[in-house]
Chains A and B, each alone.
Chain A
């Protein structure tokens, strides 16, 4: 067996043969020999030998385990089930064999048999996990059932009853059992019951995942459309963490639902199961303003509340009633946001979400407003004013990105665009100063200038300007020289080279990306799509190999 572990298949076969000479019917030795044969490519011999042993229906551990390994390597998991079915018939009280049988069924997805095997196990040894393996098998049957009706009317209710029995007998032990119960009720659309489970005693077991109970409650309130609870719970969770964006969305959704329903809080009792409820725009505004006030006091303010205010404006506008509440102009708020967070790279992606609140006629004015607050070195009439530190550079970058987003460059003619490209590259090269001490694995701070210049040139190329694409390549290669880890440079280069039909540099670029595992699936097409058609057959087959290796090892890991 050691020889096999070390990959020394020939020696393993020899050793096995030696043993078999002395003990002709030593099953284990035969199987180990078969494994050796299988690994040296002699599939048919291996299979024949294995079946010889299997036909004898062995019940010793070593043979069974060895055969299991063999069958799995041959990708014949169904043979393992037959193996253990036989073993279990001979030794019906073996907890171990029944376990293995269950696992064997799991590998081939025989859910019904899994269900039966689970219960058989439970009868031998009444341990909760075995019972719930059976329950889980029922759920799997309901998921895979062709007939949806069958799921809802047979499998799931049966699973539900099984769990209820354990609940009644107070036998629920593990967190996973509660999770299963919740899963069943949710799939049955019994949301009220699911909610009760989570809020009740059983829910106390849901401790592993952070905020598990609250998240599940929220999901149920939404399904049940219980807006008071949605609102109260999201309010509480926002007080805990005012940066949790999903709960702002829920908070706003629920407030407006309540307004539309003309809901009013009860005079004396609790507003809702989760406490205080906000059901008017004034309350929502006040709540958001309070969060903002709190954040502004912190040394490291969170972005959530500020963006929430913009989101609220959008909602009110959508309902046609923004003016009443005088929350302010989006332009002004976004300007203030920029002043606070403009030096962070995320400022652009944050503001991008709300750009539709700006009127197009104001775009240029908005951009100029932002530019004015960036500390740029005082420049003479024809010179470009440059940022003095990284923060100012990042702020300026944000404005440039916004300019592109708002279409300011798009509206320019060819000459103007080329001027912008020149300016961006000037700024790019200047910005390299700040990144002198950057490691090879870090990106240069001014990389984005280069990227935007290239994209502008690409726009020109697509509009018919042939020469532009060559400049793109030189700029990108320049950028890559200074910032060897920048994946965006590499990806763009790969795309452009392929479009131009020049495949050779692509292979090296791709390998420098150091793509691993599933990335070969998600971005490997960049190579494989073009390699063959451009005549680079060796590279094509190599890149397909990367993906193949991933899929192969993935299948082994998952089966």
Chain B
């Protein structure tokens, strides 16, 4: 990731030098199929630095980079059970595009968990086609 998409690695640092949070992303997909997009691979804010709007800021930066690259949309995967995160992304303008069954493999003894594939259209997607939800869930093998 760092070798391919260094610009998508952003870290926030506090005045005392502590790491507040980070975001990691990439860009992929076919331009011809209007699927060229930014992807949020990981986003995390340390508990001591919550409720400062930092996650929103980091997402904003990733979206800005994706816009510069001419992406049609930004997407991310999130555990269906992670209501806190799902709500946060909804507030930032993301909607559920599709469900991916058993995307997350469990660590120990628990069943695999489904993921929501959430998307936000960027300015290049003028008709907001990329965020029209799919009527049925998919499996991890079906993802490009």
Contact = CB atoms under 8 A, between A and B. Distances in A.
| A and B held together in a complex | yes
Interface of A: 207-210, 212, 245, 300, 303, 307, 311, 344-346, 348-350, 352-353, 439, 441-443, 511, 514
Contacts of A344: 51-52
Given A349-B49, A442-B84, 20 more contacts: A208-B6, A208-B7, A208-B65, A209-B6, A209-B7, A210-B7, A210-B10, A210-B61, A210-B64, A212-B7, A245-B14, A245-B15, A303-B52, A345-B51, A346-B52, A349-B14, A349-B48, A350-B15, A439-B84, A514-B107
Contacts of B49: 345-346, 349
Contacts of B48: 345-346, 348-349
Contacts of B64: 210
A212 B10 CA distance: 13
A169 B47 CA distance: 53
A245 B13 contact: yes
Interface residues of B, number: 26
Contacts of A514: 107
Contacts of B68: 207-208
Given A209-B6, A209-B7, A345-B51, A350 B16 contact: yes
Contacts of A511: 108
15 contacts: A208-B69, A210-B61, A210-B65, A245-B13, A300-B53, A344-B51, A344-B52, A345-B50, A345-B51, A346-B48, A349-B14, A349-B16, A439-B83, A439-B84, A441-B82
A345 B47 contact: yes
Nearest to B18: A349
B106 to A, nearest CB: 11
Given A345-B48, A346-B49, A352 B16 contact: yes
Contacts of B50: 345
- A-B pairs, top 7 by smallest CB distance, nearest first, are A209-B7, A208-B7, A353-B16, A345-B48, A245-B15, A346-B49, A353-B15
A346 to B, nearest CB: 5
Contacts of B16: 349-350, 352-353
Contacts of B108: 511
Interface string B17-51: 01010000000000000000000000000011111
Interface in B78-120: 82-84, 107-108
Contacts of A345: 47-51
A209 B15 CA distance: 23
Contacts, number: 52
A215 to B, nearest CB: 12
A208 to B, nearest CB: 4
A209 B9 CA distance: 9
Contacts of A442: 84
A261 to B, nearest CB: 27
Contacts of A311: 15
A521 to B, nearest CB: 17
A210 to B, nearest CB: 6
A346 B7 contact: no
A152 to B, nearest CB: 26
A352 B65 CA distance: 34
Nearest to B17: A353
Nearest to A347: B48
Interface string B53-74: 1000000010011001100000
A545 to B, nearest CB: 16
A349 B12 CA distance: 14
B36 to A, nearest CB: 15
A345 B53 CA distance: 13
A443 B15 contact: no
A445 B112 CA distance: 29
A391 to B, nearest CB: 10
B53 A346 contact: no
B41 to A, nearest CB: 14
Contacts of B52: 303, 344, 346
A514 B64 CA distance: 33
Contacts of A350: 14-16
Contacts of A352: 16
B62 to A, nearest CB: 10
Contacts of A439: 83-84
A111 to B, nearest CB: 18
Contacts of B6: 208-209
Contacts of A207: 68
Nearest to A346: B49
Nearest to B14: A349
A350 to B, nearest CB: 7
B92 to A, nearest CB: 15
A289 B10 CA distance: 29
B101 to A, nearest CB: 21
Contacts of A300: 53
Q: Which of A209, A344, A346, A352 has the most CB of B within 10 A?
A: A346
Nearest to A310: B15
A300 B57 CA distance: 13
A443 B82 CA distance: 14
A245 B13 CA distance: 9
A302 to B, nearest CB: 9
A542 to B, nearest CB: 14
Contacts of B51: 344-345
Nearest to A341: B52
B86 to A, nearest CB: 12
B72 to A, nearest CB: 18
Nearest to B20: A346
Contact of B14 (A209, A346, A443): A346
Contacts of A441: 82
A352 B16 CA distance: 8
A28 to B, nearest CB: 30
Contacts of A353: 15-16
Contacts of A443: 47
A346 B14 CA distance: 9
Contacts of B84: 439, 442
B15 A307 contact: yes
